[in-house]
Structures are given as C-alpha cells and as structure tokens.
Structure 1
Amino acid sequence: MNRLDGAEPIDPSCLIAHIHIPKTAGMAVQTVLKEHFEPHTHLQWNKAAENWKELTDGKEYSGSLITGHLPFPQLFYPGFSSERPIYCVSVIRDPLQRVISLYNYNRSLRHPNHERFSARFPSIDDFIKAKSGKDNVRNQQAVWLCGSRTNPDVLCEVLNAHYIGLTTQGYLADYLTKVLKLCGKTAGEVTVPTVNTLQKIKSGGAVGRDDIDPVVLEKFFQDNWLDDLLYKTVSEHLERNATPDTEMTAQGVRQVRKSTLARVKQTVKRLLRN
C-alpha cells in the first residue's frame, strides 16, 4: 500500500493497467478511470490477452490506460517490454461473495446463456462442487493479480512491485480519489457510478450464503484460503486508513438485515416441519 498511501512517488509518464477481475465492481472502476485517462484502450472482453499483444508486440503502447479482463501474467507476457513504468490498479472481493455474485449473475436475464447455466447448476452447491479443487478456479483473485496460486510471499512481492495498492468494493471512491491524485489527474473526491446491477433471475431468486451447505462452504474456504487471507488483510488495512463509501456502507447494512431475515425464515420453516 506504500504507493497508495503516498510513501512512493508515481512517475507521471506511467501507464495505468486496470486488472479487472470479474465480479469485483470493475465496470464502475473503469468508468471512472476512462473519464480521466486519455487516450485509453478498453481491451476486448473475451480476448483481452490477444488484444493487448496485438497492441504491444514489437512496439510501445502510447496510451495512458488499459482496462479489461487481463490477468497480470498476460500483461507482462514473454517478450513484452516497455520503456515506461506500468502501475496496476485492481479491486478484490470477499471470495465467497464473489462466487455467489457470479452464480446469481449467470442465472440472470443479463447473461445470454442463463437458461443453460441454470439447468446445469440447479443450486449454488452444485456450482461450487463442480469447481471445487480445480486449479483454474482456486484462489482466482490471487491468480489474476500475480499468477501465483499458493505462495503468499510471491503475491506480496508482485503487489508491492507493480500495484498502486488494492481496494475492496466498500472503499472504491477513496481508492480512486487517491489513484487519480497520485497520477496528477484530479484532487477532488470521486463519485463512483452504479453499473451492471443484477437483473431478474428467471429460475428462482437470488441466493446467498445461507443457501450453501456447510460442508460445501468449508471445502470452498479450504480451496480459496489465499484469496480469503488476501481479502482480510487488505480489508483490515482499509478499515484503519481509508474512508468507506457511504452508499456501500448502507448496502452492507441492508445485506446484513436481509441475511438475518433469511435465517429467521429458515428457522421458522424448520420448526414448522418438526
């Protein structure tokens, strides 16, 4: 967090690379960044790595910002070189909430294959169990950020060397305000837009943590221990040193209330069955 906290200077000639991990409010982040960095490139969502290589293979990228679903290892692909320093920005999320959001999103009308997805994974337990233990889904956020799946030391080295800190969804405005100020773009407080809201789910409603079997939940956290450790570490730092977004705080309160109400309803149903 040294750069984000102002302990290390930012080279004004730098390139900003937004590592957009899916389902981490990345669209809101890129909306703000694209307003302040020109020229910029929004990499193609389904082939960001190929798009980035086309732009830089054998030549220097002249823009100020790239944003898209480009994992860090594909940013610095073999043979890539740049005369300018590159600083990465990214948002992480509670790993369980991210998977829940992904499951709900894939079942919503916004997703083009929602019917096929719902038929394949009737419950979130089915979705988590199908992915459990697979290398390409364990600790996905750590993989996106540095490529290391199991080594916290390597993760920390990459973050300290290449990133302007990290943030979680509840501190987006504070994070982006600091990033833009460090880059000499603006000193004013950033307003983060609300984008990509969940649309109607055709097959049932949105699910939450209480809908996951405890055994499945335990296995999930075993598989994603590094993501969980990273999220908790960053969250603790932000709680001590950053200002939470008012709207996100309110959403958190509503989410807790909703979760509590769901548990009460489940308890009542269980008592009625008995």
Structure 2
Amino acid sequence: MKFRRLRPDTWDAYNKNHEEFNGLWIFQHVPKTAGSSITAALSSHAAPYINISPDRNSPISIRKQYREMAATTSLDRDGRPMRSVSGHLWRADVDMLLERAPHARLFTFVRDPVRRVISDYRYSRTPAHAQWQEQISAYPNLDNYIEDSPAVRNKTVFFLTGERDGDAAEVIPWIMGRFDYIGLLEEMEMSHTILSRLLRLGKSKVEHRRSTEALPQNAEVPTPAQLARIRKMNDLDLALFRKVMVTHNRIREAGLFLL
C-alpha cells in the first residue's frame, strides 16, 4: 500500500500490509534529510543491510559509480536476502534496483526545502564534503550558491523523479504513489516510530548523527531576501513537503501515533 493511500481510516490496513512484508526495503536518501539517523537504525535492526557509496578517490565519476553499483551490488549476504539498502540514489539508480528486486519497497525522507538548502550549503563548505574546496571556490558566498548551484533548485524532487521542473499537480501524486513511506525530518520522532513499525525495527531509537561542523567558512547567516529566493526556487520541493506534512498531521490528530 503506497503512501498516497495513508489516511487515518486506512492506517490499520496500511500498517498490516507493510508489517507482513519480508522483502527488501530501499531507502532513497536525499542529502541533508537526516539519513545518517535512519541508516544507523537499518544497519542495526534491518540486516542484512548495505549502504551504496562511491569511492571518492576513484577516477570514475560518482554518478557513474552509483549506477554501476545499483546494477551489481549483491542483494544477498552469506546466503541471506538483503533486508535493506540505502544510498544517495537518483531515480535511475532506484529503477535499476527495482529491476533486480521488483517487489522491493521504497521509502525516503523530506525536509523543509529552505532549511535543506542552507544545510547543504553549510555542509558543502566543510572537509566532510569530498569536493569542499572546489565548492568554496565555485560559490564564494551564499548569494553565488543560490544563483549558480544546481543543489538549490528542487533537489529533492530531482532525486526522486529525475526532473527539476513540472506541474506540481502531476509530480506530487506520482511521488506519493511511488513510495511506500515518506518520512518528515520536522516530525522525526513520529516518522521514526512509523518506520520502525513498518520495517519491524523493534525498539531502535532516533540517533542524531553527523551534524554539520560549524566553521568560519560556513558561518554566514542567510538574510530574509535570500530565504525568499530559495523558497521561490523550490516550488515543487515545497509542495511535496507540505503534502507529506498534511499526511503526518492527520495521523497525529487522529490519535494513531503511539510512542
């Protein structure tokens, strides 16, 4: 049962449908949406688990590595089917995995797009980012980043669909119908509890990990004008975020969310 069908009146059927599933779960991790917290739970409670991650020192492009690994990464470990897999996967990478495991189920997390962009900008200017020095050189300040970086405009929708443009009336229902669950960073406790039920993660707890290091080069505070520009450039991401938030709010208001 897909996320678009999740409502208070369908909660029991939705919950049962996923709790009875014993196959592969794919976590399509959009950057800067609390993925490290989720992957920690998967590795501990949804094993066998693998995170698809490129070799940053390889001469092969990162995106080509992702595509090749999606096509070749073993979905078994020691004779046991893989229970969960994650990665900064684009739609084509996920499609490749689904060709190999057509009954796999998908989940992802979304975040307020303005906050996601600022977080991405700050992270890109720390040594934790593989090309951090190149990022600083290419985008000396937040204004440059907003105007020129492809990471600013509808990045979440781009990861999930392969496109940055489109009609929200078509794009958002497609996403809601593709994914089995979409979590919300702003409702992390609730999202983690729902996900724990669906994947039978037991009593795993939310672990807030890998917060971006505060450094002089990422200390810039966005102005109201910059925030407004980011918001305007993320119409699809914002529409998706709001739609996912509505679903979670309805579940909470119906009293179906139990800690």
Q: Return the TM-score normalized by structure 1.
A: 0.72
Deviations 1:35-79 (A, max 9, x none): 11121211014433221101379xxx9311111111233211399
1:14 counterpart = 2:51: no
Aligned counterparts of 1:185 and 1:24: Cα–Cα separation in 2: 20
Q: Identify the residue that residue 103 of structure 1 maps to in structure 2.
A: 121
1:31 counterpart = 2:40: yes
1:222 counterpart = 2:232: yes
Write the letter of the residue equivalent to 2:179: Y
Q: Identify the residue that residue 71 of structure 1 maps to in structure 2.
A: 90
Write the letter of the residue equivalent to 2:249: E
| Alignment check: 8 A CA contact 1:37 1:65 kept | yes
Aligned counterparts of 2:117 and 2:160: Cα–Cα separation in 1: 17
| Alignment check: 8 A CA contact 1:41 1:65 kept | yes
**Number of equivalenced pairs:** 230
Relative to structure 1, the CA distance from residue 127 to residue 166 in structure 2 (aligned partners, 3 Å threshold; closer, same or farther) is same
Match of 2:161 among 143, 146, 156: 146
Identity of aligned residues (%): 20
Relative to structure 1, the CA distance from residue 162 to residue 7 in structure 2 (aligned partners, 3 Å threshold; closer, same or farther) is farther
Aligned counterparts of 1:196 and 1:49: Cα–Cα separation in 2: 25
Aligned counterparts of 2:232 and 2:119: Cα–Cα separation in 1: 19
Residue 116 of structure 1: how far off its partner (Å): 3.8
Write the letter of the residue equivalent to 1:207: E
Residue 110 of structure 1: how far off its partner (Å): 3.0
Deviations 1:101-147 (A, max 9, x none): 1111122243354344323322201111113xx6x863111122233
Runs ≥4 residues deviating over 6 A: none
Q: Which runs of 5+ in 2 are unaligned?
A: 55-61, 254-259
Residue 18 of structure 1: how far off its partner (Å): 0.4
Match of 2:142 among 117, 120, 124: 124
Residue 97 of structure 1: how far off its partner (Å): 1.1
Q: Which runs of 5+ in 1 are unaligned?
A: 244-274
| Alignment check: 8 A CA contact 1:100 1:208 kept | no
Q: Which structure exhibits the higher relative contact order, with contacts defined as CA atoms closer than 8 Å and separated by 6 or more residues?
A: 2
Match of 1:179 among 179, 195, 203: 195
What's the secondary structure of 2:73's corresponding residue?
Answer: helix
Q: Identify the residue that residue 197 of structure 1 maps to in structure 2.
A: 211
| Alignment check: 8 A CA contact 1:171 1:242 kept | no
What's the secondary structure of 2:106's corresponding residue?
Answer: strand
Relative to structure 1, the CA distance from residue 6 to residue 14 in structure 2 (aligned partners, 3 Å threshold; closer, same or farther) is farther
Q: Identify the residue that residue 51 of structure 1 maps to in structure 2.
A: 69
What's the secondary structure of 1:103's corresponding residue?
Answer: helix
Which segment drifts farther, 88-97 or 44-53?
44-53
Superposed CA RMSD: 3.0
| Alignment check: 8 A CA contact 2:47 2:82 kept | yes
Deviations 1:84-104 (A, max 9, x none): x22111111111111111111
Relative to structure 1, the CA distance from residue 75 to residue 202 in structure 2 (aligned partners, 3 Å threshold; closer, same or farther) is same
What's the secondary structure of 1:144's corresponding residue?
Answer: helix
| Rg larger in structure | 1
Write the letter of the residue equivalent to 1:73: A
Q: Identify the residue that residue 58 of structure 2 maps to in structure 1.
A: none
